Amino acid sequence: MDVAYVLYPNMTALDLVGPFEVLGCVPVVSPRFVARTLDPVRSDNGLTVVPTDTFDTLKSADVVVVPGSGHWREVLRESAELVAWLREVHPTTKWTTSVCTGSTLLAEAGVVTKATTHWAAREDLTVRGVEACTDRVVFDGKVVTGAGVSAGIDMALQLVEREFGTAVAQTVQVGIEYDPQPPHAYDSIPPEVTQNLRSLFAASQS
């Protein structure tokens, strides 16, 4: 099973690496890394990934994984080639997936009708005619979207279960010791934290 991970400047590394590690635990999965050119691609926090394929050379994939970015509106403005590739490759896939704001690129390509994304980017789905959901993982036909950043692991585990069965998904989950125990419950975090983040995100888009 070929899995094409989409690369572009300022992508969020965990959006890519989370699903890559989960899916990579399944022996039949072969990763590909596709970008506009074969030049190394730098993530928003500095991780650099070397593509194996370009949008011109890779025309089909069993699975496509589109990471998001904290600079998603800038990415949307500069993503014409990526979006065109998504439209072209989507009919060939068994699963087209995204993590975090990667779903806004699927929305821009017109290949999804219902999706989740990072909480700060839901309006960017709705303005593109996509039903924005608050669930951590959303299946919309063969399109699977994960919410913000860390949800890429959940998305990939659910995809493994759909494709290979519960026992394989459980094996992968135990193998990567995925048992989240964050220091703060979501409902205990003060609202000003979210507001401060909104301001930071807004500043990053300008």
Q: Which residue, 175, 172, 176, is CA-closest to 159?
A: 172
Cα–Cα distances (Å) from 56 to 34, 79, 84, 88, 118, in that order, read: 9, 15, 11, 11, 30
Which residue's entry shows tokens 């930071």? 200
Residue 100 bears catalytic tag: yes
Catalytic: which of 100, 109, 138, 155? 100
CA distance 174 to 86: 33
Q: H helices of the chain, where?
A: 13-24, 72-77, 80-89, 102-109, 122-126, 151-164, 166-175, 191-205
Distance, CA of 202 to CA of 206 (rounded, Å)? 7
C-alpha to C-alpha distance for 159 and 40, rounded to whole angstroms: 28
Cβ(112)–Cβ(141) below 8 Å: no
Query: Distance (Å, rounded) from C-alpha 158 to C-alpha 139?
Result: 10
Among all residues, which ones are annotated catalytic?
A: 100
